[in-house]
């Protein structure tokens, strides 16, 4: 296990409520600098809420530390400015803006224009579908293309930590595979840290080094992908037997 002090992101006993309903009862996750961590869990286990607690879109209790200092209670804009890029559930694509404009929105906080263009070129090479539709409105893209755009837009912020909420949601298996292959390449070529929520463990395992399993708002199990592949319960619940 890496030293907790060396972790990029540290969640300890994080709680969250939607109105009177407690959704998170104690989530603890560490993302080491340069590492990639998956969050597995059934519907309603609190995966999305955990991500939202990090990005400041839901009020949370407990400890949320990023680069060693607490970011709990920060507004989403501020969290983003610290280098955390969150691809929300449902992708958050800006439908009335073109593909290119969506990417520029991703780069909104950046001042290094030349590097921005280099990054756009890199992403368009990674996602040729987007290149072909660079001037189309994002709402005209297919579901898979929108997911690719959402990941690309987040990457355009040049973040230290990419937070992905179920990139495979609503996609055909082969499309989901393509998206994950691209995410894996993104990680390899940029060395960016990732926190990935996923229901499909096989997809998640292709990108992450370790996994935390959530059940009813609590982290119940943490291990490396190798350890969890050998775990019978995990195999039954998330890897299709």
Residues whose CB falls within 8 Å of the CB of residue 113, separated by 6 or more in sequence, listed in order: none
Q: Which tokens is 228 given?
A: 């969890």
Rounded Cα distance, 219 and 31, in Å? 14
**Does 137 participate in binding another protein (rule CB under 8 A)?**
yes
Q: Is 20 exposed, middle or buried (0-12, 13-18, 19+ CB in 10 A)?
A: exposed
**Does 227 participate in binding another protein (rule CB under 8 A)?**
no
With CB under 8 A as the contact rule, the residue among 146, 152, 210, 225 that binds another protein is 146
Could you say which residues in the range 38-97 bind another protein, by CB under 8 A?
Answer: 55, 57, 75-77, 80-81, 85-86, 88, 92-97
Helices 99-106 and 143-155: crossing angle in degrees, nearest 10, is 30
With CB under 8 A as the contact rule, the residue among 153, 160, 214, 234 that binds another protein is 153
Shortest reach from residue 108's CB to another protein, in Å: 5
With CB under 8 A as the contact rule, the residue among 18, 63, 140, 227 that binds another protein is 140
**Does 196 participate in binding another protein (rule CB under 8 A)?**
no
Total residues binding another protein (CB under 8 A)? 32
DSSP assignment of 24-67 equals: EEEEEEEEETT-EEEEEE-TTSSHHHHHHHHHTSS-EEEEEEET
Shortest reach from residue 146's CB to another protein, in Å: 7
DSSP 3-state percent helix, strand, coil across the chain (nearest 5):
40, 30, 30
Shortest reach from residue 152's CB to another protein, in Å: 12
Span near another protein by CB under 8 A; candidates 20-28, 116-124, 150-158, 174-182: 150-158
Pick the closer one to another protein by CB: 141 or 195.
141
Shortest reach from residue 237's CB to another protein, in Å: 28
The secondary structure of 63-108, three-state, reads EEEECCEECCCCCHHHHHHCCEEEECCCCCCCCCCEHHHHHHHHCC
With CB under 8 A as the contact rule, the residue among 2, 26, 34, 143 that binds another protein is 143
Q: Which residues of this protein are in contact with another protein, per CB under 8 A?
A: 55, 57, 75-77, 80-81, 85-86, 88, 92-97, 101, 104-106, 108-109, 137, 139-143, 146, 153-154, 157
């Amino acid at each position: 296990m890496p030293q907790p002090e060396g972790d990029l992101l540290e969640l300890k006993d994080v709680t969250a409520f939607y109105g009177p309903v407690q959704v998170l009862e104690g989530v603890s996750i560490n993302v080491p600098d340069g590492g990639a961590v998956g969050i597995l869990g059934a519907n309603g286990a609190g995966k999305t809420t955990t991500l939202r607690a990090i990005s400041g879109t839901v009020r949370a209790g407990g400890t949320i530390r990023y680069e060693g200092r607490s970011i709990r209670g920060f507004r989403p804009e501020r969290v983003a400015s610290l280098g955390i890029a969150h691809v929300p559930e449902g992708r958050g694509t800006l439908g009335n803006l073109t593909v290119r404009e969506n990417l520029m929105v991703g780069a909104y906080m950046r001042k290094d224009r030349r590097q921005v263009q280099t990054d756009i070129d890199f992403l368009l090479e990674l996602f040729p579908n987007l290149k072909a539709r660079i001037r189309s409105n994002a709402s005209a893209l297919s579901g898979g293309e929108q997911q690719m755009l959402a990941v690309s837009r987040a990457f355009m912020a040049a973040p230290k930590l990419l937070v992905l909420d179920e990139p495979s949601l609503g996609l055909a298996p082969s499309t989901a595979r393509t998206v994950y292959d691209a995410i894996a390449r993104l990680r390899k070529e940029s060395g960016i840290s990732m926190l990935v929520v996923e229901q499909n463990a096989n997809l998640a395992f292709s990108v992450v080094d370790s996994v935390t399993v959530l059940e009813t708002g609590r982290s119940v199990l943490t291990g490396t992908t190798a350890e969890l592949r050998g775990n019978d319960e995990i195999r039954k619940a998330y890897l299709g037997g």
